[in-house]
Amino acid sequence: MSETVEKIEQQIRENPILIYMKGTPQLPQCGFSAQTVQALMACGERFAFVNVLDNPDIRAELPKVGNWPTFPQLWVEGELVGGCDIVVEMYQNGELETLIKDAAARANAGEEQRDS
């Protein structure tokens, strides 16, 4: 397994809510990433991101890891949720907020257990 794939798997494992995108949440570099990150931010929970434009190795390898060819990619609790169309649709029907809030609650509960 390549070092890049190991790095990707570690990022996915360590971040309960993670978006691989072009640009940053504050400055998306493509319309699809902008729409996806807006839907994610509207859920009101913290999330991690990786700018694939700054990480060409991840940009090349991630489509193989998730078997998903395009960006952005939203990963929640180690599972690929999907790209822009799926995330926006989930946001519009209320599924995304439930998914994100539940994942954040579980992550926070896990952190509190480790801290005590």
Q: Which amino acid is at 99?
A: L
CA 27 → CA 20, 52, 57, 80, distances in Å? 14, 13, 21, 23
The answer to the question of whether 106 is labelled as a binding residue is: no
The answer to the question of whether 43 is labelled as a binding residue is: no
- 50 close to 20: Cβ distance less than 8 angstroms: yes
The answer to the question of whether 85 is labelled as a binding residue is: yes
CB atoms within 10 A of CB 26: 8
The answer to the question of whether 54 is labelled as a binding residue is: no
Give the sign of the dihedral formed by CA 74, CA 76, CA 79, CA 85. Answer: negative
Element (H, E) at 73: strand 73-76
3-state SS class at 45: coil
Q: List the binding residues for glutathione.
A: 22, 59, 71, 84-85
Q: List the binding residues for [2Fe-2S] cluster.
A: 30
Q: List the binding residues.
A: 22, 30, 59, 71, 84-85
